[in-house]
Structure 1
C-alpha cells in the first residue's frame, strides 16, 4: 500500500516499480523527440514483415503521423486506434516512396499480449511553461494513459487542472499525446480515472474503480494491479469504450457497466447446467 507520507517523487517511483512488477517495461522518454523516435522504432519492430526490410523513411513516418493524427479530432483518432467492431485492429495505410501501398498495425484489439506495454515518467515539453508529465503508459510506443500524482492532502482539482493545462499548452508540440485515451489522478490513497476527449473535460466524470462486488479500489496499489493490469487496461481500450456519435464523444464505461457486460458474455459462453439443448 502506498504510504500517505510519500512525496510526489516517491509515489511516482513506487508506481513505476508496481507497474514493472505486473509486466510493464520501463523506457526512458525525456522529451517529445524521444517519444516520436521511440514510437517509430516500436512501429517498425511490430511491422517487420510488412516493411520487408525497408525501414520507414522520414517522409513515410510523417505520413503515418498525418494519417493517425493530422488535423483529426480526438474522437476520430480514438476510432482509428481501435479499428472497428468487426475488425478490432488499429491500422494505418500509407503510400511508400516507391508508390506501393503499406498497411501498418498500430494496435491489436483482440489479444492484449500481442501489444507492447511500457511505462515512462517525467517527459518534459517546453511551451509557454515547462510541462512535465508524471507517468505515461505506452502501448506499442503510443501514450495511451497519463497519470498525475499528488501527495496526500492535495486536492484532486489541482491534478485535474494540471491535466487541462497540459492539454492546452503542450499537445500542439507533442502531437502523439493526442493519443491519450484515459487520465488517472491519485494521491496514493485516493485514485480516479476519466476519459480524454475533445473540448472541455468535466471533473464530474472522474470515476472510482471497484471490484466485481462494488468495493472501491482507491489505494494506488490496488488500483494499479487491477485497473492498470495489462489485460484490464487493454480491455478498457479495446472493448469498454463507447463512442457517442451524436455528440462525437468517447466515453469510458464505469466499473459496474464493465462487470455487467462481462457477466453477460460469460453467461452466454458457459450455459448453466440443466439448460435444454
Structure 2
C-alpha cells in the first residue's frame, strides 16, 4: 500500500472501532459509569493504571474498585483518610495491591486539594506536540508525598524511555472528543494534536506489519517514531489511529 491507500485503510478501521460498541469490551466502560468530570477523571486514571493483562479481569476489577469507592470516586478521594485503608485491603490486580491503592488515593487527594486537579497538572507542562514531558512532571508531583518505593513502578516515565502506554491511553480518554461517545473530550486545555498513541504489543505489532514503525522495542523511541508517522496522516487527531491499530491486532489478529 502507498501512503494514501494506507491512510484510507486505517481511516476505515477507525470508523469500524471508534463507536459506542467498542465500550462494552473495553476498560473505558468504567469511567463511562459517571457524569461528574472529577468522577470520570479519577475512575479513568485508576482504571488506566490497572489496564494490563486480561481485559475481562481489568474490567471486573475496575467495577469492584468503583464499588469499594462507594461508586463516587471523587467524593471518596476528597474525604479519604488512613482510617479507611482497611476497607481496601482486599483489592489486588496483578502487582497493584491495596498498599499502592492507598497511596494513589492520598496522592489524588493532594493533587485536587493543592494542584488544581489532574487536568491542570498535565496541562501545565504540556508541549506543543507532546505530552511526554508533562507525564514526566506529573510523576514527580504524584510521588511528592512520602510513599512506598514499590508504588513508583505503577506510573511510567517517558524520559526514562518508557512508552507510558497506560497514561497515554488515559490522556486519550480525557482529551479526545471523537463525537462517537467513546473518548470523553472533557479536558479542553489540551489539544488532541498533543497526544501520543498508547503503544502496546497489539498496536506495536500491527504498526510494524504496515511499516509505520521499524523499532523493535515498544519504548519511548518507538513511540516518537510512531507518533511522527500518525501525525503525517492526521496532525489534528493522530491518536484516532489507536482504534485502528488496536482493533486490527485484538479483534482481527492482523
Q: In which range does the TM-score fall when normalised by the shorter chain?
A: 0.3 to 0.5
TM-score normalised to structure 2 length:
0.34
More strand by share: 1
More helix by share: 2
TM-score normalised to structure 1 length:
0.32
Larger radius of gyration: 1
